[in-house]
Structures are given as structure tokens and as C-alpha cells.
Amino acid sequence: MTQILTTRMEAHPSDSHTLGRYEDTGGYAVLRTALAGMQPDAIVAEVKASNLRGRGGANFPCGVKWGFLAPSRPRYLVINGDESEPGTFKDRQLLERDPHQLIEGIILSAYALGVHHAFIYIRGEYPRPARRVQRAVEEAYGAGYLGRDILGSGFDLEVTVHLGAGAYICGEETALLNSLEGRRGEPRIKPPFPAVEGLYAKPTIVNNVETISNIPWIVGNGGAAYDAIGPEGSRGTRMFSLSGHVNQPGNYEVVMGMTWRDFIYGYGGGIRHGNALKAWIPGGASAPWFVEEHLDTPLTIDDVAKNRSMLGSGAVVVMDETTCMVKAALRVVRFFAHESCGQCTPCREGATWLQQVLTRIEAGAGRDIDLDLLLDISDNISPGLAWPPAMTTICPLGPSAVSPITSIATYFKDEVAAHVHGGGCPLG
């Protein structure tokens, strides 16, 4: 089993987060070698060669994004640890159990990008991971890995840990930057993209916790070695948060390319109580759902996209035959309606309308036209209901509320009709 990110955590569950354990297991050795002998551009070249794609949701190639960084200075690196996508809990493990791996990744990335101040933005509901990261940052300063003249290289880097206040939208990179600046967490219109005009209107790279946690391995082993793991387009290992009606929920670091069947029935141990599988969300609450016909689809970024969904944040939520699909859709839509920042009318009003209509159907007061009405409202949020979604909004939060609607309209039309005609849920 190939592992890049979680080896230390599994071998040393109780103290994998400490500096002592990190150094004892080879930590910061890559940094020493890189600062002593590698030019910044050589690190960027390795990351490009690795074909690492971002793990925060959009799957954008990391090295390509780094290449967009505008030349002016100062420039910043911001680590996105907001992790608010329902079902996602992999960054939590990386922050809590191996914060020095992330810090080493940050120092290497900052050195490569000419950054002298990096920020780690952690969601407010993660007090323990935040404490561990803060402590690890202090340890790193104490050991000379952060601050001035790191390891005698002449390179300086400050790292600031910042806690959010609990809004999902602050995971969207430009809302996160606003939040970091002390403004309301509302997405900015792009372009300009953060790489050109980001934090304090300066060039900024925003990367996910898991993305940057891969950097020490890539720099230590070479981009080509990373690029040799997994199928084309989905290189390296990836952390999946598996939850819902499986026998063995948890975080799994896997090489992509296996089928969904192997993942759910192998790693997940199958469906609880021997029940039948009904559907699963393949990449966080924003992703359109998969059903049995997708079980033999390979678990890669591109294969999931070809099937009109996304691997997104790596959150896999499994639903068995006892699940009411109207209730499940309502649960997801209610989340997005609640978390809409309110800036864009189609998202603010549309998600709320979707919630109201679904509530009515779920309560047994639905009408024959309600599914069409749900689709019509959805079409106003995401015209054409295409995949990837078209948008009438500044950010993709609005279209995310549409995913459960198109999912039930595609696969569970009869169940919706049964609610309408039977005065409520046929499952009781």
C-alpha cells in the first residue's frame, strides 16, 4: 500500500504531531537539503513535474497555479484549512496529527515562491487542530525552521495561524482572503485571481492543507516519482473521508484508480447491516450523486468528471436503502441555504426556495408540479443544469445547492412522486 501523508500517524499515533517525532522519522531533512542546494525554480519545476492537483476541491494543477504568481512583491502563501464541506475531515487529521509535515511543506513552498509571510487559515470549529498547529509553529520557530535566516540559508519566513469564525463560505479562496483581512467573508469577483491580486491586493497563492502536505515528499523524492504513482490526471495518493452507511468509515489515503466498488466494499467494508447501497456523494456535499451503475467507474478526478460529478474535497458519503432521498436532498440544500453569504440573489433566494419546496414535499404536502419547480429554480441558479455547472453567481456555492436536485430528478423521480401521491415518505 503506497502512503505518502499518513505513514507517521499510523506508526506513531500518540506523538506524531511533535517536533521530536517528526525529526526522528526524517522530518525537515528535505528542507535542510533543499535550502542548502536547490534553487527556488528547481522546486517549482519538481512540483510541476509531479502533476499534483489541488486537494481543496477544484483539483487545479498546483505547479500551474504557482506559475501564475505575478512578479510583484510582497507576495503571500495562504493555506486553506477551512475544511467546511460536509463529510470532509481529512485536513483535520493532517493538521492534528502531522502539523510539521504541513509546516515543512509551507517552508519549501514559500522558498520556491519567494514568499516571506505565510498564513494558515483554520476553521473556527477546529480548536484542537488549531492548538496543535500553533504549538508546532512555535516549535519550528524555536528550532530555527521559521523566522530569520532559516538554517543559515539567508531565507526568512514568518507563519501566522488564523482561526475562522465558522462560515462555510470562508473556504472559498477569495472569501477566505477577505476574512483574513478582517472583512466579511464574501467571495470576490474573479479575475483578478489571487495569484495576481490576493491578500492585501498582493500576489497570493492559496493552497489546501493536503496539497501542501505533499510537498516535502515531492521535493525529497522528485516530481517524476510522484508522477509515477496512480493514473494519468490523478497522480499521487489522495485522502478520502468516507462516512455514512458503511461498516468502516474513516480517512483513507489511497492511490486513485480503483473502482468505487473496491473503495466502498473494500476499504469501507461494505454497507451496514448487509443493506443495499442506494447512492453516494463522491466528492462532498457540492457534488452530484452516484448510484449503483457507477460502482465500476474508476475513482479518478477525470472519470468522475466524465460521469457529471466531481471528486471535489474527497468526501464520500454513502447512503443505504433506508435513506429517504427527499430528506437527504433537503438536508444538503438546507446547509447551502444556511451558508449562502447572501451576495448573489440566485444563490441567496434560490437555495432558500429549493429548501421550502423540498420541505413541503418531505412533509407530504407536495404537488405534482414541484419537481419541475425545483428544476426551474435550479436552472435560474445554474443555467442549463449542465456539468460542470454554468453560474449566475460569483462563486460556485449556489450551483452546489443544485446538485442534490438534479440527483433526485435523475435517479429518484419515482421516490419524489411517491412522496407527493402518498402524502409523505414511502419509507415511513
Which residues bind to ligand FMN, rule: CB under 6 A? 54-58, 60, 65, 80, 82-85, 169, 171-173, 206-208, 211, 395-397
* CA gap 246, 212 in Å, rounded: 29
Tell me if residue 159 falls in helix, strand or coil.
strand
Nearest distance, CB of residue 381 and ligand FMN, angstroms: 14
Nearest distance, CB of residue 214 and ligand FMN, angstroms: 10
User: Is 368 in contact with 285 (CB distance < 8 Å)?
Assistant: no
Nearest distance, CB of residue 29 and ligand FMN, angstroms: 24
Nearer to ligand FMN, 103 or 326 (CB): 103
Nearer to ligand FMN, 268 or 398 (CB): 398
How many other C-beta atoms can be found within 10 angstroms of the C-beta atom of residue 319?
Answer: 20
Order across the sheet with 76-81: list the strands.
158-163, 117-122, 76-81, 204-208
Among candidate residues 109, 95, 128, 118, the one with its CA nearest the CA of residue 17: 95
* CA gap 313, 88 in Å, rounded: 7
Task: Tell me how many degrees the CA angle 105-106-108 measures, rounded to the nearest 5.
Answer: 65
Nearest distance, CB of residue 229 and ligand FMN, angstroms: 18
Q: Is the peptide bond before 127 cis (omega within 30 degrees of 0)?
A: no
Nearest distance, CB of residue 27 and ligand FMN, angstroms: 21
User: Is 33 in contact with 26 (CB distance < 8 Å)?
Assistant: no
Nearer to ligand FMN, 236 or 268 (CB): 236
Which residues lie closer than 8 Å to 220 by C-beta, 6 or more apart? 29, 30, 33
User: Is 44 in contact with 77 (CB distance < 8 Å)?
Assistant: no
Nearest distance, CB of residue 107 and ligand FMN, angstroms: 17
Give bridge partners of residue 315 from the DSSP assignment: 241
Nearer to ligand FMN, 4 or 395 (CB): 395
* CA gap 269, 248 in Å, rounded: 5
Nearest distance, CB of residue 399 and ligand FMN, angstroms: 9
Nearer to ligand FMN, 172 or 186 (CB): 172
Nearer to ligand FMN, 140 or 341 (CB): 341
Nearest distance, CB of residue 397 and ligand FMN, angstroms: 4
